A = this chain, B = another copy of it.
Amino acid sequence: MPSHTPKQAAALSGFSLDTLRYYERIGLLPRIGRSATGRRVFSEVDLKWLELLRCLRDTGMPVAEMLQFVRLMNDGAATVTERAEILTAHHQRVEDQISRLQGHLKQIRSKIDIYRDGKPWSYNQSAS
């Protein structure tokens, strides 16, 4: 069972060392192992969990909601449905966000085209 130093965990997860410590402090990383001398030891499971955190963070889930998820995990199997609901709701939000972004992308593209066509607008002349 391979384990990893904080530095490795940071490199593999993309979180900084400080962020890992911070996450542990606020409860996002329960039960991180410690060596005899008090140093953190990250297991494979911890890394998997970090990967999920990375994913949720990058998709904009607030820390508070991830914490809620952790709390439900700690409450055991009875909370499975609720956990699934959180993920489903989040999934929906991300989908919405993507489609909004795609709309915005169109706008930006048309703006760029206007620049390319040599018809940029300066703020106080003509809009487009």
Contact residues of A with B, CB < 8 Å? 30-31, 44-45, 48-49, 52, 55-56, 58-59, 70, 73-74, 76-77, 80, 83-84, 87-88, 90-91, 94-95, 97-98, 100-102, 104-105, 107-109, 111-112, 115-116, 118, 120, 122-128
Contacts and interface: CB of A to CB of B under 8 A. Distances in A.
A108 B49 contact: no
A127 B48 contact: yes
Stoichiometry (number of copies) = 2
Among A100, A116, A124, find the residue whose CB has the most chain B CB atoms closer than 10 A: A124
Query: Interface majority SS on A: helix, strand, loop or mixed?
Result: helix
B94 A101 contact: yes
25 contacts: A31-B123, A31-B124, A44-B127, A45-B124, A49-B127, A55-B108, A58-B100, A58-B104, A59-B101, A59-B105, A59-B108, A70-B123, A73-B122, A76-B122, A80-B115, A80-B118, A83-B120, A87-B111, A87-B112, A88-B112, A91-B108, A94-B101, A98-B98, A98-B101, A98-B102
B111 A80 contact: no
